[in-house]
Amino acid sequence: MPFLRKFLYLRIAKKSLHIKELKNAFVHDQRISVHNLIQFFQRFEEQVNRTTVDWRIYELTKLGILHRIGRGCYSLSETYYFKPEVSRSLKHLFGIVKNQFPYLNICVWNTKIINEFMLHQPGRFFTILEVDKDAMESVFYNLKDQGRDVFLNPSEEVFSKYVASKKEPIIITSLITEAPIEEIDGVKTATLEKVLVDICSNETLFSSQQGAELTRIYETAFEKYTISETKLLRYATRRNKKEVIEQLLNKQRNGNKY
């Protein structure tokens, strides 16, 4: 009898979830908000309340129909996380700095990884080497003595006059505390959430990624990968860019049907 009751309960519950209709309604949507889901269920029950919708969301995620991709945001697709390429040169640079400064917090990545999300492809790239603020000058002079094309937090003038003409220069900047980084093949590098905030935080370094291109980068990134809005906004807050990032996120949300 307990098995039969459970079977009947699940059958009734699944019927109220409208799974087939849900898949058809959001088949082309990469992001589904709680508001979207409330409006969806109101098509079948005009007076459905938030508690009921929350329960249905819980059941849908448990069944593997919905996948949580951020705070209050879901997707019908499985999660796809961005894994940036860590080239041999990045590994070598990380190893050199780590060997000379073993207790230093380091993050290294190349702007080439942004091209995947852009329409107009920049012809030149540069390596971003982020370290603790107090160690920036020491790392700079250490690499400079090795004959590397390295620049310490260049101004707009220095960037346009000297950095832009180099083949693949290294730019040293300060690593923000609690920045979202990850380890790939033994190298500490930037997550997609970090990259998306960083390109909004330094227009000198990321001049090629501004304007309409910036909007396109966000659109493409959210279409292709699972992005943690919680992580994104937390880091944006630390970089004093929360309002800017929220505006870009709202553009993504407004692209939904409901």
Residue with the bigger pLDDT between 254 and 89: it is: 89
Q: How far is 225 from 212, CA to CA, in rounded Å?
A: 20
Q: What is the mean pLDDT of residues 127-145?
A: 95
Nearest to 19 by CA among 68, 86, 78, 64: 64
Tens-digit pLDDT profile for residues 230-256? 899 999 999 999 999 998 888 766 654
Q: What is the mean pLDDT of residues 223-231?
A: 84
Q: How far is 211 from 234, CA to CA, in rounded Å?
A: 23
Instruction: Provide the pLDDT for residue 12.
Output: 52
Instruction: Provide the pLDDT for residue 13.
Output: 58
For domain 2-75, which architecture applies? Orthogonal Bundle (1.10)
Instruction: Provide the pLDDT for residue 11.
Output: 55
List the structure tokens of 168. 């693949």
Residue with tokens 């937090």: 153
Q: In the predicted model, is pLDDT for residue 6 greater than 50?
A: no
Instruction: Provide the pLDDT for residue 76.
Output: 83
- Secondary structure of residue 177 in the 3-state scheme: coil
Q: How far is 206 from 63, CA to CA, in rounded Å?
A: 42
Tens-digit pLDDT profile for residues 25-42? 888 777 788 889 999 999
Q: What is the mean pLDDT of residues 76-100?
A: 88
Q: How far is 122 from 112, CA to CA, in rounded Å?
A: 9
Residue with the bigger pLDDT between 229 and 143: it is: 143
Residue positions counted in the chain? 258
Q: How far is 38 from 46, CA to CA, in rounded Å?
A: 10
Instruction: Provide the pLDDT for residue 189.
Output: 96
Residue with tokens 């590397």: 148
Least confident stretch, 2-6, 43-47, 78-82, 103-107: 2-6
Q: Tell me what percent of the residues of the chain surpass a pLDDT of 90.
A: 41
Instruction: Provide the pLDDT for residue 258.
Output: 38
User: Which range in 23-37, 47-61, 176-190, 209-223 is most confidently predicted, on average pLDDT?
Assistant: 176-190
Residue with the bigger pLDDT between 142 and 61: it is: 142
Q: What pairing do the DSSP bridges indicate for beta strands 127-131 and 73-75?
A: unpaired
61-69, Cβ contacts within 8 angstroms, sequence gap of 24 or more = 63/14, 63/17, 63/19, 65/17, 65/19, 65/22, 65/23, 66/32, 67/226, 69/31, 69/226, 69/227, 69/228, 69/229
Domain locations in the chain?
Answer: 2-75, 88-253
Tens-digit pLDDT profile for residues 143-178? 999 989 899 998 888 888 888 777 789 999 999 999
Q: In the predicted model, is pLDDT for residue 14 greater than 80?
A: no
For residue 124, name the pLDDT band (cuts at 50, 70, 90): confident
Tens-digit pLDDT profile for residues 57-86? 988 888 888 887 766 788 887 667 888 889
Torsion of CA 163, 125, 135, 180, to 10 degrees: 150
